[in-house]
Amino acid sequence: MGEQPIYSTRAHVFQIDPNTKKNWVPTSKHAVTVSYFYDSTRNVYRIISLDGSKAIINSTITPNMTFTKTSQKFGQWADSRANTVYGLGFSSEHHLSKFAEKFQEFKEAARLAKEKSQEKMELTSTPSQESAGGDIQSPLTPESINGTDDERTTPEVTQNSEPRAEPTQNALPFAHSSAIGKHWEAELATLKGNNAKLTAALLESTANVKQWKQQLAAYQEEAERLHKRVTELECVSSQASAVHTHKTELNQTIQELEATLKKKEEEIEKLRQEIDNARELQAQRDSLTQKLQEVEVRNKDLEGQLSDLEQRLEKSQNEQEAFRNNLKTLLEILDGKIFELTELRDNLAKLIECS
């Protein structure tokens, strides 16, 4: 019949920090479904929890495990096969007690299944042991096949522990080895089937993500309906105890929904602020771009004016240079005329003196 869920609840999942072995590390952002599964083919009980498409708990229950309540809403157990300690935080003490009862129940069932399986395999292996001349073999149980902490039995160890039989006595050990091989093949087929089921479950969980998002909007309406329900239940005085318990659970559910809603509103507000900031930055960038363009245009105009002034200055300098040259020439001519007039005056003075 394969592996089927037999009990489910919701809780926050934690694992012990592998470095410090003291602090708890959350493996889920919110409460997720934690389920007990029973594999009727292998007589194995497991605790499985998925966060989206990721398996955050995959723990096989063995008789030597213990579930410990560390507070009113928190419990833990150690899984030496996974080399970790799992912790679950529940919304109420009632849910924690119910989970602990189921853990103890399935742990006892696993112990009984292990004992029955060992007895059955011991009876099955007795003829083979006698025909092999007193060979000692460990019974094959689901726990030994999977490799539990109490016992880890492999075909290689069993073969190494068998004494060498005479050629005339090899038929029955070979038949027993063939039966073991068939058993391993059956176990492999079962594991493949379970792997296919888990893959299908993961795909189904992925497909349900959109549905969960749609349910988030419906949670607000559910919260209002729960508020009204709480008011109605408070009016029923004959069921005060049940109403109080139910009210506590509903209030916790409402608080979780309100906290989730508050988170979403904060995220939306942050996004709005980021959008406003982005718009302001865009406006500033556009304004600066426009100013830069205006400055570039003005710069080009100034460059044109500067070039025109340089040309006019150069022309003026050339004209001044030409004027200086002409003035210099005139001065030279004037000096010559003045010199000639001076000589003429001196000659005239001499002539006057002589006469």
For each of the domains in the chain, give its residue range(s) and CATH number, in order of start.
5-119 (2.30.29.30)
pLDDT of res. 77: 95
Partners of residue 51 on adjacent β-strands? 54
Report the pLDDT value the prediction gives residue 2, as an integer from 0 to 100. 62
Bridge partner list, 79? 84
User: How many CB atoms neighbour CB 177 within 10 A?
Assistant: 15
Q: What is the mean pLDDT of each run of 10 residues along the chain (355 residues)?
A: 82 91 89 91 89 89 92 93 92 94 92 81 59 40 38 35 37 56 81 80 69 67 68 59 72 89 90 90 91 92 92 92 92 93 92 89
Enter the tokens of residue 136.
Answer: 């000692």
The pTM of this model reads 0.37
pLDDT in the model for residue 240: 59
| Rg, Å, the chain Cα set | 49
Q: What is the pLDDT of residue 253?
A: 87
The predicted-structure confidence for 16-34, as pLDDT tens digits, reads as follows 998 888 889 999 888 999 9
Which DSSP helix (H) or strand (E) runs through 56?
strand 54-60
Tell me how far apart the alpha carbons of residues 165 and 155 are, in angstroms, rounded to a whole number: 17
The amino acid at 40: S
pLDDT at res. 157: 32
Structure tokens at 164: 């060498």
